[in-house]
Amino acid sequence: MSDRFDRYTRIKASRQDGILTLHLSNPALRNAVDEQMHHELADIFVDAQEDETTRVVVLTGDPDGNAFCAGGDIAWMKAGLEGKAASPSASEGRRIVTTLLDVEKPIVAAINGPAVGLGATIALFSDVIFMGETAQLSDPHVRVGLVAGDGGAVIWPQLVGYARAKEYLMTGDPVRAAEAERIGLVNHVVPDDALQDKARAFATKLAAGAPQAIQHTKAAVNMELKRLAATVFDASLAYEMISFTKDDHREAVSAFLEKRRPSFSGT
């Protein structure tokens, strides 16, 4: 493995036959995004694009975490509220999505368990999405008193339309695999034990194709998403940063850690 990936601790990288496999890896917390993973997600896609031996990227979750990515680490949120850690920065959040969109190499997502919040966003911004039959997708920002600002407001409407996107983003309700495939949120639902093989087989097919033609086709299709990211995404991210300062977010974090239902005041 090239030295460019050695510095990552929350993303495990391996490469074979032109396919770079990236495992989101925080198994003790179901591969949740803690401060370190957030930092690494802001850099990993730049390295993937610049890695000359990579033709296709496969993105999945560390199998030891029993999830694709469980979303934001609540303990990190609590530490941020208490001033014991830096809260997620808007600039870093923006970089995660914009660098993901800038990767011209195809990205194949293999959703091997719950994909939540930012985890769902990263999966859905991938180019072709395979999902295990028992996996779920959700963007429950609102359940912790936050605006769905890290990309969900951009990508969900593009995949399933505005009515369905607003339903799922305003409730945070999960979408089971069969429903995700039916409404066009993902490309393929396959048996859990066949997920990695199916995703790998498709990545191998892409890796055998004409690299420039495939990459520039992706770049052309992504132009509209980039335009949206420059407008909708920036506004939604700003709204999310404001919501981090609100009492409802503090209440939601406390309720989660205390294992009770939150009582939202609207402040």
How far apart CA 138 and CA 156 sit, in angstroms, is 10
Percent of the chain clearing pLDDT 90 (strictly above): 83
Query: Quick one: pLDDT at residue 228?
Result: 86
**Separation of CA 186 from chain center:** 13
- Among the listed residues 68, 28, 49, the one whose alpha carbon sits nearest the alpha carbon of residue 199: 68
User: What residues contact 73, with CB distance under 8 A and at least 6 apart?
Assistant: 26, 29, 32, 33, 34, 35
Query: Quick one: pLDDT at residue 74?
Result: 87
pLDDT < 70 regions, the chain: 1-2
How far apart CA 140 and CA 212 sit, in angstroms, is 37
Identify the structural domains of the chain with CATH numbers, from first to last: 3-192+211-258 (3.90.226.10)
What is the 3-class SS of 116-148, one letter each residue?
A: ECHHHHHHHCCCEEEEECCCEEECCHHHHCCCC
Query: Quick one: pLDDT at residue 122?
Result: 97
Query: Quick one: pLDDT at residue 246?
Result: 93
How far apart CA 168 and CA 36 sit, in angstroms, is 28
Residue 20, amino acid: L
| Digit-coded pLDDT (tens) for 195-236 | 999 999 999 999 999 999 999 999 999 999 999 888 888 899
